[in-house]
């Protein structure tokens, strides 16, 4: 396999829905050392000067963004749990954003739908997206499909993604994602980012 080539000035790393409350307790993430591997990749991306971004799903009081027709989120609206409106509060403490790194709150599964990420990337001439996070079948899948339609070059970092269902993770990374993205390891990205 040919070595990975990246234009640092045109590449963004998206750490998507990397939730502290879930990833620390998820067997699929723990067994595969997803948190530690993501930390290493985040450090390499920062050192290489990549545009590092984060997203997490947040809502206003009363969950006003959620329609009763939304099967994914409507149960949350009626859960009685207070919503979190600050995305940084949800991000795993091992990979918290630094000052100046872009963090967006989203109200749907897809990281680009209704958020400022795409205009920010366009304004900064980003055409390559490295994506990772939780869940492989959620934010990663939705964002890959949408970003592919926007003509981004996409790299999914397989060993920095996790899902409640490891079989679904494997199916997506082996059979579905390769149709629209390159499925890569953190090690291959880190190697490509070396001076």
Residues whose CB is less than 8 angstroms from the CB of residue 90 and which lie 6 or more positions away in sequence, other chains included: 19, 20, 21, 56, 57, 58, 84
Overall pTM > 0.75:
yes
> Span 121-125, mean pLDDT?
98
Count of helices and strands (H, E) across the chain: 8, 6
For residue 80, pLDDT over 80 is answered with yes
Split at pLDDT 50, 70, 90, the class of 2 is low
Give the C-alpha separation, 12 to 140, whole Å: 15
Residues whose CB is less than 8 angstroms from the CB of residue 152 and which lie 6 or more positions away in sequence, other chains included: 121, 126, 127, 128, 129
Q: What is the pLDDT of residue 106?
A: 98
Q: What is the pLDDT of residue 44?
A: 98
Give the C-alpha separation, 33 to 39, whole Å: 10
Helix ranges, 78-185 (H): 117-123, 141-149, 166-171
Q: What is the pLDDT of residue 185?
A: 98
The length of the chain in residues reads 195
> Span 30-47, mean pLDDT?
97
Query: Of 82, 66, 169, which Cα lies nearest the Cα of 114?
Result: 66
The average confidence (pLDDT) of the chain is 96
> Span 32-40, mean pLDDT?
98
């Amino acid at each position: 396999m040919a070595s990975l080539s990246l234009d640092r000035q045109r590449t963004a790393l998206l750490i998507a829905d990397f939730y502290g409350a879930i990833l620390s307790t998820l067997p699929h993430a723990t067994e595969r050392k997803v948190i530690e591997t993501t930390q290493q990749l985040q450090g390499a991306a920062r050192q290489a000067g990549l545009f590092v971004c984060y997203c997490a799903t947040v809502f206003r009081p009363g969950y006003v963004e959620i329609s009763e027709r939304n099967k994914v989120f409507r149960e949350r609206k009626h859960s009685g749990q207070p919503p979190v409106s600050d995305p940084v509060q949800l991000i795993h403490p091992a990979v918290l954003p630094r000052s100046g790194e872009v963090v967006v709150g989203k109200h749907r599964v897809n990281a680009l739908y209704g958020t400022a990420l795409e205009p920010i990337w366009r304004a900064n001439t980003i055409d390559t997206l490295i994506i990772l996070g939780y869940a492989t079948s959620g934010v990663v899948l939705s964002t890959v499909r949408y970003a592919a339609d926007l003509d981004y070059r996409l790299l999914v970092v397989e060993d920095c993604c996790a899902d409640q269902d490891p079989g679904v993770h494997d199916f997506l990374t082996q059979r579905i994602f390769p149709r629209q993205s390159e499925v890569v390891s953190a090690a291959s990205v880190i190697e490509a980012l070396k001076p």
